[in-house]
Structure 1
Amino acid sequence: MLNILWLAFFLIAAVAGVFQWLVLGDPDVFSRLVASLFDMADLSVKLMLLLFGTLTLWMGFLRIAESAGLVQGLARLLGPLFRRLMPGVPAGHPALGLMTLNFAANALGLDNAATPIGLRAMHALQTLNPDPKSATNAQILFLVLNSSSLTLLPVSIFMYRAQQGAPDPTLVFLPILLATSASTLTGLLSVALVQRLRLGDPVVLAWLGGGALLLGGFMALLASLSAGAVAALSSLLGNLVLFGVIIAFLAVGAWKRIPVYESFIEGARDGFEVCKNLLPYLVAMLCAIGVLRASGALDLVLDTIRWAAHGMGLDTRFVDALPTALVKPFSGSAARALLIETMQHSGPDSFAALLAATVQGSTETTFYVLAVYFGAVGIQRARHAVGCALLADLAGVLASIGVCYWFFT
């Protein structure tokens, strides 16, 4: 799928370039296409340098949390909930701890770090699979929750916004929190409906009801504030939570007498290994997106959607962020490239860039996750995983649009 998508970007750009040259009389289009290749290659290297630091930093802190037993403690805390949502997984099974660590990495926005952990979790779940070619209910729920983007602290998106010159990189913290809650809840409810999970169980109700009450109360508080106050609160909470998580990891690690510095270095080394393989993918996708924009093809598609939205009497500002939403289910690197390109084209704090960042943080690369996670263990029958995951993605996109109109207009 990714191979077809990447090739299609270049072929569409070539056709659009020829059209602009022969029909519209614009021979300069080819100079713009070539210039975009070099510009995006240069941008890829600059982003990579920042990504090296960010990913190694957070992988280091995650290793401290793991060594201090925070992850295992979270697994024990979530154990009663997992036993009801995944009755096929016995208590104390290694998959529970791995899934918890995967969710923690996703919550911190470290999707590249979460993938290898998620693969280990999927392998652990596969040991319980009576039919190795068909996904179990537990594997489907795990995959759908992954594809619903459990992003509570989108560090990577903060990093991209900072790199593009946003004066307040954490401005999208609350919009992403609300939108990702909608996508995750939709994914969970859709799987629960298909698998007939007992959501009326007291333990499940306590978790879901408590979460819903907290989120509802929080949204009621936000509704009572002005747009400026909401933006200021999002910035404050984003930075406060970010630094608070770091201090909590370090404090618990020191209390448990963990060599925090050595643990950090060990985790950071793993982060470096994960990160160093990303540059070719980043260059490939940013260059493909660059020529697509330079050829005018992307603008033509967006203008068509904008025309249709205007005909229905809708506010059309959301259209400029749609490329990220349309590509995200197929490729995280392509969506990341489109997010960066939108920030460069419209400005990091434009409505389009803020919405694209929110969509990036509240949706996931559904087909990529499906192919990698199920392909790694040889599963051929995904059953209801695809439909539930795509439904969660749709909920994330719609929630992102609604939340951004609420916050930024």
Structure 2
Amino acid sequence: MRVVEGAPEADEEEEKWLGQYSSTQSILLVGDGDFSFSLALATGFGSGANLVATSLDTYEALGNKFCRAKSNITALKSLGATVLHGIDVKTMKLQIDLKNRRFDRIIYNFPHSGFKGKEHEVHMINSHKKLVREFFCNARRLLRPYGEIHVSHKRGKWYEKWGLKHLAAEFSLVLVEKVSFQKADYPGYHQKKGAGPNCDKPFPLGTCSTFKFRIGSSKKQNGRRAGPISSIGGDTRPCRPLSLVQPWSGLQFVPRDYIVPVPMTAPSHVVDQRQPGRIPSPMGRISSNCLFARLGQTLYENRIIAESLGNTDYFACEYQRSLLREYRMQSQLVPEATSLSYSAFLEARQWESVQRQERLRRRIAYGRSQ
């Protein structure tokens, strides 16, 4: 028994351990037979306040199957544990008493789908695998962050064919540890067959292991303490701080020390475009009187708009520059396809513009005729 020194409260309860489990962990137990494993934990902790013990059978059915089930349930409740009946591991994530709760540990000792044949038969192995697969699907939804699902399972022979690790991986559950299961670590625990005429009889354990799974991380948990208990809602443990992302010094913006204003004048074609009912000329956005006039400014000149955007000559100049950029880009990417001079390139663009203009006039005429 360990007492935490320097505790903020004098009456703080001690943390107690039994086997793989701590009194500070919120624990859900499923398929516990006569509830002897749950009672062993509650007795070892001195309290069952952190335990939720469940069974598939009703209270009456448990009394008919196991001679000590009712007395174990009574003892569990007296220690403060929560006992639920009719909990199916294949649908428990939707169960009203569980769906809003999260747990540090979910324990399923020796899952078994029933005695419907020999353990080595294929249909029996598939039946067990289906049960465990659906358990993993539901249990992962009831885990807290960094919580674990524990499945104790027999080893050797055909039990290895269940493939617990691969079944868990289907639901992003990673095996983080596998430890030997020792019945002596849990005084008072009695494994039961749970079905058939010998349901209250024990089954031989042989070599067993507890497989520990966690969502999406293969790193083992440092330390054994799982944090404070919260029976409802998400995790109450402090989150791991994330490292701050440092900005790259090379990406800092440095304002320029100079500006080159672009002179702007209002060309005649802009006035023509503003008049209603007028169709601008095919190359009307080029401000020069000559179609083949050279551009007077460099391609990537540093500049700002010195006047308001209401002066649209700026956009005409930008169109000229875009034509030149397009021509140079084609010359670099496809040299054999741009053997024409820049003047021939502009003539081709003008011809394309004339064709588009003609198609537009035809559409307008067709619309008026209708």
Higher RCO, 1 vs 2 (CA within 8 Å, ≥6 residues apart): 1
Q: Same fold (TM over 0.5)?
A: no
Q: Pick the TM interval, shorter chain.
A: under 0.3
Q: Whose strand proportion is higher, 1 or 2?
A: 2
Decide which structure has the larger Cα Rg and report it: 2
Q: Provide the TM-score with structure 2 as the length reference.
A: 0.22
Q: Provide the TM-score with structure 1 as the length reference.
A: 0.21
Q: Whose helix proportion is higher, 1 or 2?
A: 1
